A and B are shown apart, each in its own frame.
Chain A
Amino acid sequence: MGRYILRRLLQMIPVVIGATFLIYAMNFALPGDPVRALGGERPLPDEVQEQIRDRYNLDDPLLVQYGKYMGNVLQGDLGESLAVRRGSDVSDIIADTWPVTARLALVAFAFEIVIGIGAGVVAALRSGSFLDNLVRGSTILIVSVPIFVIGLVAQIVFGLRLGVLPVAGTAQGWVSYILPGFVLAAISLAYLSRITRNSLMENLRADYVRTATAKGLSRRRVVGRHALRNSMIPVVTFLAFDLGTLLSGTIVTEGIFNLNGIGGVAFDAIRQQDGTVVVGIVTMFVLIFVVANLVVDILYAVLDPRIRYD
């Protein structure tokens, strides 16, 4: 097991380097001069331009630039914001804003797990019934609507027309996170309930479930302790993969609901072409995503004793 984790960690290194290099190169190596662009109509004095180039190592070859950048990243220095919050460190911006995003993600995960898995289990236990068809129909509908449309509609309906939930901002504590959390979770929730349903239905037909029923166990125990546990393996895989969707989703959701989280900053940074902020945040997202997938691979062994690593 220890060797397996070590091997996976080593495999992770080229992935992280490749992904971050791709993002870095695209953002900083394109034709055009970002430093000159900073000045707009009136060009900055040569000394100032020189200073900025020096600060961001812009005169070095691309690989050296990237190497220096990653060296700084490893020391916690993600560079300075050029537009969104001009002059402040990107790492400070992230430190300021991550609690909002963490809360939003927690609420979204809660919705996903409670409603997504709940609906999937209900649909699987009564497959072919009205409820099953309702779950299947509504999930495929939700998947078809872009997340920002769901967000805008939720804002208009629940926030403005009905006035039951806060429209934007985080002034009302946890209540403010209900609407954005639900919107962020909506699409993943739909996929999750479909995966749960299919996986549970497959397991309910398995021999060991028949054995458990034949032993005289109650339905609740058969489903809860035998079938459901085994059905969770694809669900957990999906949750890790889904973290990528969720992270992308925070950019849209926090932008629409005006939450001051990492995604909201990224949303502004994209609109204002603030390269260092975008690259810094995305580099972090990629790291989170890769680590989450590693954790799930390791969790497999705990969840499914049939899997052996050597």
Chain B
Amino acid sequence: MSSLDPAATSGQSADQQAVTGEDVAEGTSLWGEAWRDLRRNPFFVVPVLVIVVLTVMAIWPQWFTDMVPRSCDLSRSADPPQAGHWFGFDRQGCDLYTRVIYSTRASLLIGLSVTLGAFAIALVLGSLSGYFGRWLDAVLGRIADVFFGIPLVIGAIVLLTAVADRGVTEVSAILILLAWPPMFRLMRSTVLSVRESDYVQAARALGAGNARVIVRHVVPNSIAPVIAYATVFMGVIIGAEATLTFLGAGLQLPALSWGVLLSSPPARELLNTPHLLLFPSLFVSLTVLSFVLAGDTLRDALDPKLR
């Protein structure tokens, strides 16, 4: 077990903790207690349900609509919402509802891959930097400072305009590159506070090696705030993708994402066709809101000081 990479094992042990916490009626572990609080909290349950629906929508969009996003009728360009076409039509005469549904995939995929990427970097580098300290901490800290010095959206615009073909992979990679430092700093600081605790000393006294101490003791006990932050972060990234694409530095047609839908109508036409702005931005906002709320309540539930 100790030879596995920290990312995989820590996720597992966190899961195991959650499961055992649920099985034991008292719910003594951090995750068990958090889960007991959270499942009664509507501000956690409702956003999570919304996220589940959105995930299903991203994987099987055809379950939500009979129409195809690219079969369009120019004669219905920008027609307002009507029976059978609740969201109206976009400028190419495509059914907007269908296009919004099919856009879910790219938007969520970017959010998910950037969050997982940044999370993995933060987990590995943050625990190494916090645990070993000294020169490793200094070097990693300075590298993080460099990326921290570049504001996310501005940096992403510059780096992305230099990329000719921008798909989900390119946009995600650039966002991961720029967005990991805050999560890294959070992970590092929680590892620092866990490193000196009694159970870590005890594990070391029992002869556990560094790898085992980090993977079995330090990471599982310092990962909670980072997971909560990552949940909020996923919402932030989905919003950032929409903004980047609106500015012309994100995904490009014919890709479909909420940002693409929002960036295609020229602003001056929106007065007469507000549905082109309303429905895609409603989906963006609902998604971001769900992740922010879920992450916020998760953070509060995982914070022992707030009990």
Q: Write the residues of chain A forming the contact surface with B, with a CB cutoff of 8 angstroms.
A: 11, 14-16, 18-19, 22-23, 26-27, 30, 32, 140-141, 143-149, 152-153, 155-156, 160, 244-245, 247-248, 251-252, 255-256, 266-267, 270-271, 273, 275, 278-279, 282, 285-286, 289-290
Interface secondary structure of A, over-half rule = helix
Q: Which 9 A-B pairs have the closest CB atoms?
A: A18-B146, A244-B151, A248-B153, A144-B289, A144-B288, A149-B281, A19-B149, A144-B285, A26-B159
Taken together as a complex, chains A and B put the C-alpha atoms of A155 and B150 apart, in Å, by 29
Query: Which of B150, B151, B152, B281 is the most central at the interface, judged by chain A CB atoms within 10 Å of its CB?
Result: B151
Contact residues in A for B292 (Cβ distance below 8 Å):
140, 143-144
Which residue of chain B lies nearest to A273 when distances are taken between CB atoms in the complex? Answer: B161
- In contact, B146 and A14 (Cβ under 8 angstroms): yes
Query: Which of B150, B154, B161, B288 is the most central at the interface, judged by chain A CB atoms within 10 Å of its CB?
Result: B154
| Of the residues B145, B150, B270, contact of A156 by C-beta under 8 Å | B270
Q: Which of B30-38, B85-93, B235-243 contacts A (4 or more CB under 8 A)?
A: B235-243
Contact residues in A for B164 (Cβ distance below 8 Å):
32
| Of the residues A11, A18, A160, A285, contact of B154 by C-beta under 8 Å | A285
Which residue of chain B lies nearest to A287 when distances are taken between CB atoms in the complex? Answer: B149
Task: Given A247-B154, A251-B154, decide whether A145 and B285 contact each other with a Cβ distance below 8 A.
Answer: yes
- In contact, A15 and B146 (Cβ under 8 angstroms): yes
Contact residues in B for A18 (Cβ distance below 8 Å):
143, 145-146, 149
| Interface size of B in residues (CB-CB distance below 8 Å) | 43
Taken together as a complex, chains A and B put the C-alpha atoms of A141 and B247 apart, in Å, by 22
Contact residues in B for A245 (Cβ distance below 8 Å):
151, 153
Task: Given A19-B149, A156-B271, decide whether A146 and B284 contact each other with a Cβ distance below 8 A.
Answer: yes
User: Does any Cβ of A come within 8 Å of B158's Cβ?
Assistant: yes
| Of the residues A153, A251, A286, contact of B153 by C-beta under 8 Å | A251
Distance (Å) between the CB of A17 and the closest chain B CB?
8
Q: Mark B83-107, 1 if CB is under 8 A from A, else 0.
A: 0000000000000000000000000
Q: Mark B150-173, 1 if CB is under 8 A from A, else 0.
A: 111111011101111000000000
Name the interface residues of B275-291: CB closer than 8 Å to any CB of A: 277, 281, 284-286, 288-289
User: Does any Cβ of A come within 8 Å of B274's Cβ?
Assistant: yes
Distance (Å) between the CB of A295 and the closest chain B CB?
14
| Of the residues B147, B151, B267, B293, contact of A152 by C-beta under 8 Å | B267
| Given A15-B149, A146-B246, A286-B151, 14 more pairs with CB closer than 8 A | A14-B145, A26-B159, A27-B158, A141-B285, A146-B243, A146-B262, A146-B285, A148-B246, A149-B284, A252-B243, A267-B247, A270-B249, A278-B158, A289-B149
Which residue of chain A lies nearest to B290 when distances are taken between CB atoms in the complex? Answer: A144
Q: Mark B242-273, 1 if CB is under 8 A from A, else 0.
A: 11001111000000000000100001001100
Query: Which of B235, B270, B293 is the most central at the interface, judged by chain A CB atoms within 10 Å of its CB?
Result: B270
Which residue of chain B lies nearest to A145 when distances are taken between CB atoms in the complex? Answer: B285
| Of the residues A15, A30, A256, contact of B267 by C-beta under 8 Å | A256
Distance (Å) between the CB of B180 and the closest chain A CB?
14
- In contact, A156 and B274 (Cβ under 8 angstroms): yes
Taken together as a complex, chains A and B put the C-alpha atoms of A255 and B292 apart, in Å, by 27
Q: Write the residues of chain B forming the contact surface with A, with a CB cutoff of 8 angstroms.
A: 142-143, 145-155, 157-159, 161-164, 235, 239, 242-243, 246-249, 262, 267, 270-271, 274, 277, 281, 284-286, 288-289, 292-293, 296
| Of the residues B147, B158, B285, contact of A279 by C-beta under 8 Å | B158
Distance (Å) between the CB of B279 and the closest chain A CB?
11
Which residue of chain A lies nearest to B161 when distances are taken between CB atoms in the complex? Answer: A270
Which residue of chain A lies nearest to B238 when distances are taken between CB atoms in the complex? Answer: A146
- In contact, B150 and A19 (Cβ under 8 angstroms): yes
Which residue of chain A lies nearest to B258 when distances are taken between CB atoms in the complex? Answer: A146
Distance (Å) between the CB of B215 and the closest chain A CB?
31
Taken together as a complex, chains A and B put the C-alpha atoms of A144 and B238 apart, in Å, by 10
Taken together as a complex, chains A and B put the C-alpha atoms of A265 and B67 apart, in Å, by 41
- In contact, A22 and B150 (Cβ under 8 angstroms): yes
- In contact, B151 and A285 (Cβ under 8 angstroms): yes
Contact residues in A for B149 (Cβ distance below 8 Å):
15-16, 18-19, 286, 289-290
- In contact, A251 and B157 (Cβ under 8 angstroms): yes
A-B contact pairs, 30 of them (CB 8 A): A14-B145, A15-B149, A18-B146, A18-B149, A19-B149, A22-B147, A22-B159, A26-B159, A140-B292, A140-B293, A141-B285, A144-B239, A144-B285, A146-B246, A146-B262, A148-B262, A149-B281, A149-B285, A152-B270, A152-B277, A156-B271, A248-B151, A252-B246, A255-B247, A256-B267, A266-B157, A275-B162, A282-B150, A282-B155, A285-B151
Taken together as a complex, chains A and B put the C-alpha atoms of A252 and B285 apart, in Å, by 18
- In contact, A144 and B235 (Cβ under 8 angstroms): yes
Distance (Å) between the CB of B298 and the closest chain A CB?
14
Taken together as a complex, chains A and B put the C-alpha atoms of A212 and B150 apart, in Å, by 43
